[in-house]
Amino acid sequence: MIKKATIALALLAAMSSASMAASTGWTTGSVNFRDGPGTYYTKLGSIARCVQVTITESRDGWYRVQWNGTWGWVAARYVSADAGYCSGGTTKKGY
């Protein structure tokens, strides 16, 4: 648990700016995919647990990600930089 928290904090520190280089993340649970960085934005769909996404921006606890060829936003707390989080070969490409 401590290792996962440390990795998550390192990911957040690396993504602290509004604009960043693209990186890869994996969803840690089923997460709402929205058209903006907040719960008041329209839900475009749901991304399942352990789906690989491309992260390009961080804003107020939200990541702008590409999933299935579409850009949208997910809550940052449901994304991990650690592919090992989804052990057992259950990871899925999201793009």
Radius of gyration, CA atoms only, the chain: 12
Give the whole-angstrom CA distance, residue 90 versus residue 95.
16
Q: Is the pLDDT of residue 9 over 50?
A: no
Q: Which of 66, 92, 88, 85 is nearest to 8 (CA)?
A: 85
DSSP, residue by residue, 83-95: GGGGTTT--EE--
Q: Is the pLDDT of residue 35 over 50?
A: yes
- Residue 45 to residues 30, 77, 78, 88, 89, Cα–Cα distance (Å): 10, 17, 15, 26, 24
Better-scored residue on pLDDT, 20 or 39: 39
Taking residues 12-29, what's their average pLDDT? Answer: 69
pLDDT per residue as tens digits for the range 43-91: 999 999 999 999 999 999 999 999 989 999 999 999 998 888 787 655 5
Three-class SS of residue 17? Answer: coil
Domain spans, the chain: 2-86
CATH superfamily of 2-86: SH3 Domains (2.30.30.40)
The pLDDT, as a whole number, for residue 92 is: 58
